[in-house]
C-alpha cells in the first residue's frame, strides 16, 4: 500500500500497511489501510465497482488539520491519487498480452537501435523462466533490485548454480530487450511495463497451460487418472485412432 499512498520509506515513522480481501456471498471486498487511513473497494448494490478512501488523520500525509481550501485540496489530491493508483494497478493486470511482434523480438535474437546485439529469451528455457519469476516479485516495485539479489532469487528458483557473471549477462540482455531499466545514478533495476507484461504472460502460459498440459498428455500417466481429464481422454482417443488407421493402411499395402 506504499504505492497507493505514495509515502517515502522512513523505517522509524513508516507506520503499518495492511491489505484484507473479504468475501460476502459472491461479492468481493478489498480493504487497504495505512495508519488511520483506509481504501475500500466493493460492488455497490452488486452492480457498480466503488472505490472510496477515508483519511482520518491529515497529519499522516503532512497536511494540517485546519479547515481551509488549501488543506481540502491537498486531501483531495491524496485521495484521488490513491484511488487512481489502485485502479491503474488492477487495470495493468487485466491488460491484453503483448502483441506478436513484441513476443517475436523477445524470443529471437535482435539488435538495439544503436546496433548492439540482444540475445533471445526463449520461452520455456528453465533459466529464462526462473529469471522472469524472480523479476515479478512485488518486493522490487519500491526500490528495485540489484545483481546480488537477482543471483540469490534465480539460484533458488533454478535449483542449480547461478553466479554474478550469469546475472550480469542476463541483466544486459533484459535491458537491450527493453524489459528493464536502471535507476539513474544507482545499480538498481526496475521492470518496464512491457517487461512486466511479458514476464506475466510467460509465467502464466508456462505454469497454467504448458506444464500441466504436458503432464496430462504424458503416456505414463495412469489410466485411472487420465480418465478424469477430458484433455487426456481426447488425446488418447486420437492416438488410438491414428494407430488403428496406420495399422489398417499397412495391412492394405
User: Strands (DSSP E) along the chain, which ranges?
Assistant: 17-24, 27-34, 37-44, 48-55, 110-111, 117-118, 180-182, 189-191
Residue 165 lies in a domain: yes
Residue 211 lies in a domain: no
Residue 34 lies in a domain: yes
Residue 47 lies in a domain: yes
Are 168 and 115 found together in one domain?
yes
Are 7 and 30 found together in one domain?
yes
Tens of pLDDT, residue by residue over 131-151, are 999 988 756 665 678 899 899
Residues found in the chain: 253
Are 86 and 16 found together in one domain?
yes
Residue 123 lies in a domain: yes
Q: CB under 8 Å, gap of 24 or more: what pairs does 188-197 form?
A: 188/143, 188/144, 188/145, 188/146, 189/144, 189/145, 189/146, 190/140, 190/141, 190/144, 190/145, 191/135, 191/136, 191/140, 193/92, 194/98, 194/102, 195/135, 196/92, 196/136, 197/95, 197/97, 197/98
> What pLDDT does 10 receive?
61
Are 112 and 142 found together in one domain?
yes
CA distances from 163 to 68, 148, 181 (A): 58, 9, 21
Are 109 and 196 found together in one domain?
yes
Of the candidates 154, 156, 176, 157, which has an alpha carbon nearest to the alpha carbon of residue 165?
A: 154
| Statement: the pTM of the whole predicted model exceeds 0.85 | no
CB 20 within 8 A of CB 102: no
How many domains does the chain fold into?
A: 3
pLDDT at residue 5 tops 80: no
CB 71 within 8 A of CB 78: no
Between CA 70 and CA 42 the distance in angstroms is 30
CATH of the domain at 155: 1.10.10.10
> What pLDDT does 241 receive?
94
Q: Give the bridge partners for 53, in sequence order.
A: 39
3 state SS of 191: strand
Residue 71 lies in a domain: yes
| Per-residue confidence band for 1, with pLDDT thresholds at 50, 70 and 90 | very low
CA distances from 94 to 28, 73, 193 (A): 17, 31, 13
End-of-domain residue from the set 58, 93, 128: 93
Are 60 and 145 found together in one domain?
no
Q: Which residue has the higher pLDDT, 110 or 45?
A: 110
**DSSP of 146-159:** -HHHHHHHHHHHHT
Are 17 and 65 found together in one domain?
yes
Are 8 and 83 found together in one domain?
yes
Are 67 and 110 found together in one domain?
no
Tens of pLDDT, residue by residue over 162-211, are 999 999 999 999 999 999 999 888 888 988 888 888 998 899 899 888 88
Are 11 and 83 found together in one domain?
yes
CA distances from 208 to 104, 133, 154, 212, 242 (A): 21, 14, 20, 6, 28
Residue 212 lies in a domain: no
Residue 213 lies in a domain: no
Are 88 and 177 found together in one domain?
no
Q: What residues make up the domain containing 10?
A: 2-93
Are 202 and 222 found together in one domain?
no
Helices (H), 144-210: 147-158, 164-176, 193-204
Containing H/E element for 92? Answer: helix 69-93
The CA-to-CA distance between both ends of the chain, in Å, stands at 71
Amino acid at each position: 500500500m506504499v504505492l497507493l499512498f505514495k509515502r517515502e520509506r522512513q523505517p522509524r515513522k513508516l507506520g503499518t500497511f495492511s491489505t484484507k480481501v473479504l468475501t460476502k456471498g459472491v461479492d468481493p471486498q478489498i480493504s487497504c489501510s495505512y495508519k488511520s487511513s483506509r481504501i475500500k473497494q466493493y460492488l455497490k448494490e452488486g452492480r457498480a465497482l466503488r472505490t472510496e478512501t477515508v483519511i482520518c488523520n491529515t497529519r499522516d500525509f503532512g497536511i494540517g488539520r485546519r479547515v481551509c481550501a488549501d488543506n481540502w485540496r491537498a486531501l483531495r489530491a491524496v485521495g484521488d491519487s490513491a484511488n487512481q493508483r489502485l485502479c491503474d494497478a488492477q487495470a495493468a493486470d487485466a491488460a491484453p498480452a503483448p502483441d506478436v511482434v513484441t513476443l517475436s523480438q523477445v524470443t529471437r535474437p535482435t539488435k538495439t537501435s544503436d546496433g548492439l546485439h540482444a540475445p533471445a529469451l526463449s520461452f520455456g528455457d528453465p533459466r529464462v523462466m526462473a529469471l522472469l519469476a524472480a523479476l515479478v516479485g512485488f518486493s522490487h516495485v519500491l526500490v528495485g533490485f540489484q545483481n546480488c539479489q537477482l543471483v540469490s532469487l534465480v539460484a533458488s528458483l533454478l535449483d542449480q548454480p547461478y553466479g554474478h557473471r550469469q546475472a550480469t549477462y542476463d541483466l544486459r540482455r533484459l535491458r537491450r530487450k527493453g524489459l528493464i531499466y536502471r535507476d539513474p545514478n544507482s545499480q538498481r533495476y526496475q521492470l518496464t511495463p512491457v517487461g512486466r507484461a511479458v514476464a506475466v504472460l510467460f509465467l502464466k502460459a508456462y505454469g497454467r497451460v504448458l506444464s500441466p498440459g504436458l503432464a496430462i498428455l504424458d503416456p505414463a500417466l495412469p489410466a485411472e487418472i487420465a480418465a478424469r481429464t477430458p484433455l487426456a481422454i481426447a488425446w488418447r482417443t486420437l492416438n488410438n485412432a491414428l494407430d488403428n488407421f496406420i495399422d489398417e493402411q499397412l495391412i492394405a499395402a
